[in-house]
Amino acid sequence: MSTLPAVVQVFLFGLVTALATGLGAIPFAFVRSVSPRIVAYTNALASGLMLGASFGLLAEGADYGRLATLIGANLGVLFVLAAGKLLGDHELQFGAVRGEDARKMTLIVLVMTVHSIAEGVAIGTAFAGGTTLAIVITAAITVHNIPEGLAISAVLRPRGASIAACAGWSIVSSLPQPLLAAPAFLFVGTFSALLPYGIGFAAGAMVFMVLVELLPEAFEAGRRSTIALLVSVAMVTMVLFQQTL
């Protein structure tokens, strides 16, 4: 590995983090039947994981620049609004799924892909700071990506996506990590300045999607108390998980 050019090493480390996202689909291999109530509870699970990830991102972004993170978060909200409007104006198909479910599936993949942009930049800038720091950051993002893949699969699987499709789309959503890690490594100064905007953008997009898309649907089909419990437990677990890393 040490004989490879540094930029190739950075790309390969980013690729490992992307592939780890696909592991989040594994638990859904054991879910055989999907009722409307299960869809509601998986939406709640995805919501909690995404909220927890967003809170961690905002805390991280504040270290780079609070105003920049705030601006990024508002841009993220506008992105979800615009994407939802644009997708709603077209008859979508996601695999074999059409209509409103296809719109939600497309939106979750888009939002989580945007989220991966900031992580790709983080990997590249970490490598610019030294190998030890880079390995720690890469390992943390790799482990962190597994519950993110779980969140994506929690939205896709109940709506008809196969396990392979859940894993595949989870990995696709993380491809910005290897693709942007290398440029961030080569142009660390430029990318570091943009990082808080990207972090805030991802956090704002995820929070808004949870509040507008996932939770309202969850409350329609599931018990409110159970939905609230699942969101709270998943959110707190994700926050503690990130703090541990």
Burial of 143: CB neighbours in 10 Å, binned 0-12, 13-18, 19+: middle
What is the structure's pLDDT at 193? 85
Q: Say if CB 213 and CB 50 are below 8 A apart.
A: no
Question: Residue range 159-179: average pLDDT?
Answer: 90
Average pLDDT, the chain: 83
Which structural domain, as residue segments, surrounds residue 156?
6-25+35-244
Question: How many contiguous H segments (helices) and E segments (strands) does the chain have?
Answer: 10, 2
Task: Count Cβ atoms below 10 Å from residue 89 Cβ, excluding itself.
Answer: 8
| pLDDT-derived band at 123, boundaries 50, 70, 90 | confident
Instruction: Examine the pLDDT at 2 and tell me if it is beyond 60.
Output: no
Question: Residue range 86-94: average pLDDT?
Answer: 67
What percent of the chain lies above the pLDDT cut of 90?
19
155 within a domain of the structure (yes/no): yes
What is the structure's pLDDT at 71? 95
110 within a domain of the structure (yes/no): yes
Instruction: Examine the pLDDT at 15 and tell me if it is beyond 90.
Output: yes
What is the structure's pLDDT at 184? 86
Question: Residue range 39-63: average pLDDT?
Answer: 84
Query: Which residues, in sequence order, are bridge partners of residue 168?
Result: none
What is the structure's pLDDT at 108? 84
| pLDDT-derived band at 114, boundaries 50, 70, 90 | confident
Q: How many domains does the chain have?
A: 1
| pLDDT-derived band at 1, boundaries 50, 70, 90 | very low
Question: Residue range 144-164: average pLDDT?
Answer: 85
> Which residue in this structure is represented by tokens 């709506």?
159
**Whole-angstrom distance, CA of residue 125 vs CA of residue 146:** 22
Q: Say if CB 124 and CB 7 are below 8 A apart.
A: no
Question: Residue range 138-153: average pLDDT?
Answer: 84
203 within a domain of the structure (yes/no): yes
**Whole-angstrom distance, CA of residue 20 vs CA of residue 71:** 30
Higher pLDDT, 144 or 75: 75
What is the structure's pLDDT at 233? 92
Q: Say if CB 209 and CB 20 are below 8 A apart.
A: no
pTM as predicted? 0.73
Q: List CB contacts of 188: < 8 A, sequence separation 6 or more.
A: 124, 125, 128
Packing angle between helix 66-88 and helix 36-64, nearest 10 degrees?
A: 150
Nearest Cα to 238, choosing from 81, 114, 115?
A: 115
1 within a domain of the structure (yes/no): no
Torsions phi, psi of 36, nearest 5? Answer: -55, -35
Nearest Cα to 229, choosing from 35, 12, 48, 82?
A: 48
At residue 183, what is the residue type?
Answer: P
149 within a domain of the structure (yes/no): yes
30 within a domain of the structure (yes/no): no
Higher pLDDT, 131 or 208: 208
